[in-house]
Amino acid sequence: MTTNFENYVLPTYSRQPISFVEGRNALLIDSEGKEYIDFAAGIAVCSVGHGNERLSKAICDQVSKLTHVSNLYYIQPQGECAKKIVELSGYAMKCFFGNSGAEANEGAIKIARKFGEVDGEPKRYKIITLENSFHGRTITALKATGQESMHNYFGPFPDGFVYAKSIDEIESLIDEHTVAVMIELVQGEGGVQPLDRTKVQALATMLKSRNILLMVDEVQTGIYRTGEFLASNLYDIEPDVITLAKGLGGGVPIGVVMTNRLDIFSPGDHGSTFGGNYLSCAAANEVLDILEAIKMSGELDEMLLYFEKAVETFAQKHPAIFLDHVGLGLMRGLRVNNAETLGKIINAARDEGVIVLKAGRNTLRFLPPLTITKSDIDEGFDRLEKAMGNL
């Protein structure tokens, strides 16, 4: 297995020495038969867990009929999915479907650029993002990412991106060419750092008064990850553009950009060969139904509180190592005293059979399936305690 990767796969990842072959909700089983509690969910993707019977059936039923025909035709599951997303969001928007978060953010950038045109001329084109943000790996989404270390090698980049050190600096960077501000309400790759709710609301009000688009990257925070359908709902704001991906398909690739600029695109302005096809939208529709049900029943909110308390209790047992507890909902992080210790914790956790992640330079990140059970949470933190004893 390793030889195949060494010989045939480009080395773009530092992979853990594990190959998983099966999963059941928050449990993963590797090729050696070892079991792991999954506190990562494929980096916030497997929102309804592994091997979910309802999702598996929905996918199999759809594939047995149609997988793909292209967007030259009406795809009924896509229309249904758009309707569900818009109604659950509570915003008067329309959706465009792609395959990933980066594609969704590319679509958002194109919406902003077209919005800034007057009579076909780019009168406004600049987009402000935050330092430590992450918006994707395509060339333009990478340039929108406010981490200078990610801009090595791949230039020249598209012009028109400005980085604010904090939300407080955004207004001072606005000029006559500014068309939009793009933010993550919780910076995932940047360290699981939530933005201040009051400051975000003030920013939204200011941008609206100046006819500047507020674009919220909810690739990681969306689809109930922070407790509400969107983190934007939690922050009580009304963005002009929202991007989604990760947890929407439960593991099937899908991305969405939604906007209240309902007529911004005309036929030919944008497109995607695979986006919104039968397979991805059938999966997304089932995921949305599953998650809406556990939200409405109160089960999701109960699990969010249980997991938050478990993280807090774990951190309090190791005050010399964990400096702070950050995050929202089932998107949690613990600040570790140094990067070397963080790496040791992740490896020791793996050895004890629990999967956790790194975020930023020194944050231990937790992104469990939204369907995780209390017993799996308890078992996962018991294993983490054993890992801490082995450092």
What's the mean pLDDT in 279-301? 98
Which residues touch 205 (CB under 8 Å, ≥6 apart)?
none
324-344 per-position pLDDT tens digit? 999 999 999 999 999 999 999
pLDDT at 261: 97
pLDDT at position 1 is 64
pLDDT value at position 240?
98
> What ranges do the domains of the chain cover?
1-38, 56-296
pLDDT of residue 391: 82
Share of the chain above pLDDT 90, in %: 93
What is the SS3 assignment for 148-180? HHHHCCCCCCCCCEEEECCHHHHHHHCCCCEEE
pLDDT of residue 136: 95
Asked if the model's pLDDT at residue 119 lies above 90, the reply is: no
Average pLDDT over residues 250-265: 97
Mean pLDDT of 119-148: 92
Please determine, for residue 190, whether its predicted confidence score (pLDDT) is greater than 70: yes
**Residue 112: band (very low, low, confident or very high) from pLDDT cuts 50, 70, 90:** very high
Q: What pLDDT score was predicted for residue 2?
A: 76
CATH number assigned to the domain covering 56-296: 3.40.640.10
Q: Is the pLDDT of residue 77 over 70?
A: yes
Mean pLDDT of 117-138: 90
What is the rounded average pLDDT of the residues 198-211? 98
Q: Characterize the bridge pairing of strands 193-194 and 186-187.
A: antiparallel
- The rounded mean pLDDT for the chain is 96
